Every structure is written in structure tokens, then in C-alpha cells.
Chains A and B, each alone.
Chain A
Amino acid sequence: MTAIHAPGYPEARVRARARRGTAEVFPPVDAYGRRLLGAGDETAAGGDEWAGDELDSARLVPPVFMPQRLEKLIDLGREPVHDDVDLATTIGGFRSPLPLYVSAFGSTRVAHGDAGLAASRQAGRLGLPMVIGENLVPVGGYRRAAGAESPILARLRAYTQECPPGLGGVVVQQSTEDADSEVWNLVYSDPSVRDLIESGRLAFELKTGQGAKPGLGGMTVVDAADARRLADRFAVRDVLDGDGWLRCATPGTFTEEILRQQVRFMRNNFPRARVWVKFHPGRDVAHAATTAWQAGADAVTVDGAQGGTGWAPRVFLDQVGLPLGECLRRIGRPEGCLLASGRIWEGGRAVRALALGATAVGLGRAALLAVDEDADAGLIRLVEALALEARLLISALGRYRADALTPADLWWPGVEPAPERHVVPIGGRA
């Protein structure tokens, strides 16, 4: 190395790539399995608080006049308070006490073992719908020898043991590689899942993409032994400078007709399961969502660029995909049940997403962190805090149901408000 320097240039990054090559395309391997990744993290890692995205820059703006509060007052016969906000809703065909669901985490290491189980138990206790992520079966198998339960069955059982009757539901994702393992068929014909099917609490989610790496399939880091074991099902590549192997799932090929027919195929083949579809934050997300609803999807999930728990190339984390707020803006008034996920952990961002048309919002990284903090009740407490905040905010807006929120409840700095109605001054003195 000579003594040349390039002040103001990302010299350190260039030098790191010169040393380690393709391994620098990814976050440090030693953080894999411990660090949860999503857009904004790389810049925030510099020490500053994450500045937020377009959705966070909106302010919730209560009006002065609140006709819906009057309706509630008449209904109750007393002044309404925040406890009177009814957050119960239907999410993709499932009754839920809150407009919240637990997002998918699949075969990524952070969700392995206890964390995935703890999240399942707590989501069940809360009665919140829960998504079981992709690639669990091709990686962890479906049924194992007596005494050992596969990851997917263990999560299903943990959830159903805790979930109150008539609430919640389990959503099982299937990626291209899962389709090779016929995950939906395995689940649908499994006698241990009968109760969920008969009570209308099983859904299948067609996963077409994810927020953290739009246009790519799932990625994890595996050791050499797993790399050999998985090589016939996944693309496994030695690009991490000897620190492990990159395991890539394929994203799958979709056109409007392929999506429409796959949704119909799901309805035809699994008539007693609900159909969910998950999209990455693609520029045509509104067209895609409409296609899915019209083909009969019970719910469409949009994972904003801030979504993600697992492994993603650095360049995707900060430079690829629409932010969640822009996805919601493009979709506009949804034609069906719209679910939104991406960096949601507290009431403000959740309520803003609901105001932009979402029926419910998903907890991904937040759920994993919460169960990591307390495996028995961490997620429950996190959800209680979010629900309280949501009730405070929604009641402040003069509304008493989550689906009563509208984009008029939001204001963006610098955006011209709609022209005010011309009014003739009344009262006062000339």
C-alpha cells in the first residue's frame, strides 16, 4: 500500500473491496444471525439516529371539529376516551383483536429455534395472525423421526396451543423452493392442522418478493456442511471470502397472468385455506395488488423497502425498492385487504400506515427483538404499548375505529394542502 489518500471519497470501502472482494458486497458475516437487517440500517450504523422515510416524515394532524366523536358520544351517552377506540378487525379472513400481525421470518438463523417458537407462542396468546416464513421445509424438513419436531410443525403447534378459539390464524408462505418441497400440500393434508383448517384459520401466502431485497429471493449464510447438503435445492455460492457460503433462493418469475393463475390455483387446490399474496416494493405494486385482489386473494401484503430480518446485499438495503409510504400512496384506496410491513414497532408509524389504506401492519424485526428481550412476554408487552399508542392517536384524530382513518389525517411538511374552501366571514365586528 502506498501513501495515497482520497479525502471525501469512500476510500475505506474501496480499500475493503480491494482486500476482500465480493464479501464486501454483504454486511459482515460475523453479524449474521445476530443482526437484523432492513433499509436505513447501514446509514444509521454510522451513529446517527435513522432520519426516517417519507412515511415517518408525515405528521398526524387531528382536526378541531370531530363529527365522528359526536357519533361516538351519542352511541356511548358520555364523552368518549381513548379506551373506546375499537381496534378489532379482520385481517385476510382472520379475526384479530388488533390491526396487527406477526410478519414472516423464515429459515434465517435469527429466527431459528427458540426465537421462532417464542414469537409463535406469544402471537398465539395475543390472538394475532402469524405468518410462517419461506424455506423452512427445504432447509429444516417437514416431518422428523419421533421425538424431534421440524421447525414448521413446532411453530404451528406453539401457536395453536396458545391461541384463543375464534381469533387469529396461521399463514404459511411458499417460495419457489418450497413449491418443490410441496409445503402447502404437506400442511393441507396434515391431520395435525385439521383444527386450523376447520376453524377457517389457515392461510397460504404466495411470496413474490420481500422488502429488504426486492427482485431477489431469500438469502442466508450457511456453513460448508449445510452448503453441500442444500446445493441441490438452492444456489450456494462461495462469495464471502471464506467466512461461510451464501445460500440464495430464487425469487420466482411473475407476470400478471402468472400471478392471476397462481392465485386461482391456490383457491382451486386449497378451497378451505385463505389466500394471501406478498409483494416486494416494486414500482408496479399497485397493478400487482389489484391483480391479486381481482384473482381472489384475501389479503395483499406490501413489504416496504424497510422490511426484512435476514441477509441482504448492502446495495439493496439503501438503494433498491420503494419506501413503504410510496407503496401505499401508489396503491391509493385499496380494493381489498391491504397489509403493510417495514420498520413498524410503535403506534405512530402503524397509525400512519393505516391512514394510508392498510387494514393492518406487520411486526417483523420488532417481534424478533421483543422475544429476544423476553421469551415469555416481550412481544406481548411490545404489542400492548403499540396498541395503547394507537388508541391514543386514533382517538385524538376524532376516530374510534382503525378503518375510519383516512389520508386526511396526515400532513407532509412542504406539501401544499388542498385549497381551503372560500368562506364568508361571519360573526365578529366590522
Chain B
Amino acid sequence: MHQTDHLSRQATQGPRPVPLGEHLVASTTRAAMAVQQETLYAAREFLRGRGFTELLPPLIGPVTDPGGRGAKALDVDYYGHPYKLMTSAILYKQASLRGFDKLFYIAPNIRVEPPETAATGRHLVEFHQIDVEIAGATRDDAMEVAAGLLTHVVQHVLDTVPAVLDELGRDSLAFTELLTGKFDTCTHAEAVQRLRGGGHPQSADAEIDWVGEEHLSREADRPFFVTDYPKGSRGFYDREDPRHPGVLRNFDLIAHGGYGELVSGSERESDYATLVTRMRESGENPAKYDWYVKLVREGIPASAGFGMGVQRLVRFLTGLDALWQVSAYPKLPGVVAP
């Protein structure tokens, strides 16, 4: 792999990526793929058991999730039109609610993350999400599904590939609290207060930064939810709390042990005028989202949903040091790789 000058100066967390040919035969890669396979099996089993329909997601579109934190979408030339590779298929998930009340994708996503995220151990340019959307659901409903999904996947992996976890040195005791206890919830404001109390200068108006997230994650003994992120830190489709202007009806599910965010989700905005205003608030031009805005104007169901990162989940299960170790074809931010 070719490292840019910037990255060669900067220590990346954990082991450094090896050439693809070596990576594909590494024992850790084989172990990670075994865990990934059981993860996807269990996720499908859980969601199908709850009445969800699996759709295959679109790969390109005229627009995609504008995302945040400086990540960029990749352009493709589509019969002379500038199209985007999906950073997430959230807009299509909302549209699909017209025909499917409960749906999910195992969705490949591409986000050209800022090179500085190569050092977090938690970012890949190419990754996959278990992408879930539920018509008529509240945030609590979505959080309940996310917690249930995580618990089911963890139990299934412990039951089916314990030897693989042993080989990786992952102690099953790390999951005891997860499997027995209820996940705690704190608000973004409370998380900010805790971080500031610990001397970390976390902004109250922004996403919890990588360092702060890792800190909170290390303090916990089981996964926990962070809710009520401030407007301005998330996309226009996260619904603003009508009773608390400036606060979003959304959540993250953070793994314990320093592994950080596994899930991001929210109640979705489905009101046309509110959505157009929210687009402007996030600096977007509604005209660019023409097909989506028209559909919202015609009417889409209210919903809640989330995306669970497959590679982050597998890293959490395997206990490997860096996210690139659990992808067969890893692409680290800022690193030009095959």
C-alpha cells in the first residue's frame, strides 16, 4: 500500500496494514471472515424473525447522504450526469417505506473520510451497514430493535464460533454484561458534561469527537446509548424534537471497551416544509435532492431506523486492534490501496 507523506508521519493506531496479498492469507483475516459470516447470518435471522424484508440497496444515485465530519462522496459519470456512490442509502430507505413497512439492507457504502481518521482505528472508506427502517416507529422502537439485534448477533457468534474467538484471544467474559443487562442511556448533553468533567474539551454543539467517544467507550462495561444530539451535528433527515428545539430525536449505540460507535439511528423527518428548512440549515440545496423532495411532498411514512456498521460490529466481536483487520479488502482513509 502506498502511504501519503502525511500518513507516514502520523502513527496509525494498532498494527499497520500489509499488502493485500498478505492480508488475504493472514489468520486474523480468516478468523474475521468467519465471525462476519455468522454476524450476517444472525442479523438476517433476527430481522426476518421480526417481519423485516431484506432489499438490495442502490449503489449510485443523483444524490446520496450528505453525511458529516468532512467525509466526501465519490462521483461517477452516469450517461453524462454526475452521480454519487452511496455514502448511505438513507434517502432510499425512507422512500421504500411506501411499499415496505419494515425493511433492511446489508448495504455497501463508500465515504472518502478525511485522512486524519486513518488514525482512529474505526474508519474505512469502504464499509457495510445493516441498514434498518421501520414505518410508524418511534426512537424507542428503533433503539429496542438495535439492542435486540446486537444481543442476538453476539449470542449467535459466541454459540457458533467460540473457537475462532479463542484463537483471537477474545475473552467471552467481555460480553457477559451485554448479554445479561439492559443498555444504559445518556443524553448528548450528559455525555458532554462527563467528558468536560474529565478534562476533555468536548463542544456542546457538535458530534462527540473521536477521542471523547473512545473515552466514554472505555469507561463502560456494556454497550450504551447516547441520545438527543444537537441539530447541526447530524443530517437533515434526523427529526428535531418538537418539544426541545435544537435537539434531535436520534441515538448512537456505543460499544464498551474502547470500540466506539456501532450504530447511528433516529426518528426521521417526513414533513416536507420542515425537511426543506432542515436541508438549508445543513447547507444543502433542496433542488439537488429533487427526486427525494418530490416524494416527500407527495408523502412518505414517518419512521425510525438505524445503521449498524458491519465491520465495527465484527471488530467489536473479534477484539481486533483496527477496523482494517476485519475487512477483506481494506481501504484506510488517505491511503491509496487496491
Contacts and interface: CB of A to CB of B under 8 A. Distances in A.
Contacts of B281: 257-258, 261-262, 265
Interface string B110-129: 00111110000000000000
Contacts of B113: 189
Interface in B247-293: 277, 280-285, 288
B264 to A, nearest CB: 14
B70 A296 contact: no
A176 B70 CA distance: 17
Interface string A262-294: 111111111110000000000000000000000
A271 B209 contact: yes
Given A186-B72, A268-B233, A179 B283 contact: yes
A268 to B, nearest CB: 4
B233 A264 contact: yes
Interface string B201-214: 00101110100000
A270 B207 CA distance: 11
A268 B68 contact: yes
A182 B84 CA distance: 12
B6 interface: yes
Interface in B1-25: 4-6
B207 A189 contact: no
Given A185-B71, A194-B115, A296-B205, A180 B232 contact: no
A47 interface: no
A253 interface: yes
A119 to B, nearest CB: 27
Interface in A240-268: 250, 252-254, 257-258, 260-268
Interface size class for chain B? 20 to 34
Contact of A269 (B6, B68, B230, B280): B68
B286 to A, nearest CB: 9
**Among the interface residues B203, B205, B207, B230, which one has the most CB atoms of the partner chain A within 10 A?**
B205
A182 B285 contact: no
A159 interface: no
A311 interface: no
Contacts of B283: 174, 179, 206, 262, 265-266
B282 A265 contact: yes
Interface size class for chain A? 35 or more
Contacts of B115: 189, 191, 194
A188 interface: yes
A262 B6 contact: no
Contacts of A177: 285
Contacts of B277: 257-258
Contacts of B114: 188-189
A198 B115 CA distance: 12
A265 B207 CA distance: 10
Given A191-B6, A267-B203, A271-B206, A262 B282 contact: yes
B269 to A, nearest CB: 14
Contacts of B206: 264, 267-268, 271
Interface in A191-237: 191, 194, 198, 206
A259 to B, nearest CB: 9
A263 to B, nearest CB: 8
Contacts of B112: 189
Contacts of B288: 180
A296 to B, nearest CB: 7
Nearest to B84: A182
B73 to A, nearest CB: 7
Nearest to B7: A191
A152 to B, nearest CB: 15
A264 B285 contact: no
A27 B322 CA distance: 61
B231 interface: yes
Contacts of B4: 191, 194
A270 B232 CA distance: 12
B334 interface: yes
Nearest to B66: A182
**Among the interface residues B68, B232, B334, which one has the most CB atoms of the partner chain A within 10 A?**
B232
Contacts of A266: 283
Contact of A253 (B71, B205, B230, B280): B280
Contacts of A174: 283
Given A186-B72, A189-B72, A253-B280, A267 B205 contact: yes
B69 interface: yes
A182 B72 contact: yes
Nearest to B81: A232
Given A191-B4, A258-B280, A261-B231, A269 B205 contact: no
**Among the interface residues B233, B284, B285, which one has the most CB atoms of the partner chain A within 10 A?**
B285
Contacts of B230: 264
B240 to A, nearest CB: 10
Contacts of A296: 205
A189 B115 CA distance: 7
Interface in A156-190: 174, 176-177, 179-180, 182, 185-186, 188-189
Given A191-B6, A269-B68, A271-B209, A179 B284 contact: yes
A258 B232 CA distance: 10
Nearest to A188: B70
B212 to A, nearest CB: 12
A253 B284 CA distance: 10
Interface string B52-69: 000000000000000011
Given A188-B70, A268-B69, A269-B69, A179 B285 contact: yes
Contacts of A198: 6
A291 to B, nearest CB: 13
Given A191-B5, A261-B282, A268-B203, 19 more contacts: A177-B285, A180-B285, A182-B72, A185-B71, A186-B72, A189-B70, A189-B71, A189-B114, A189-B115, A194-B4, A258-B280, A261-B231, A264-B205, A268-B68, A268-B205, A268-B207, A268-B233, A269-B70, A271-B69
6 contacts: A191-B4, A258-B280, A258-B281, A265-B233, A266-B283, A271-B206
Interface of A: 174, 176-177, 179-180, 182, 185-186, 188-189, 191, 194, 198, 206, 250, 252-254, 257-258, 260-272, 295-296
Of all A-B residue pairs in the complex, the 3 with the closest CB atoms, nearest first, are A264-B232, A261-B281, A185-B72
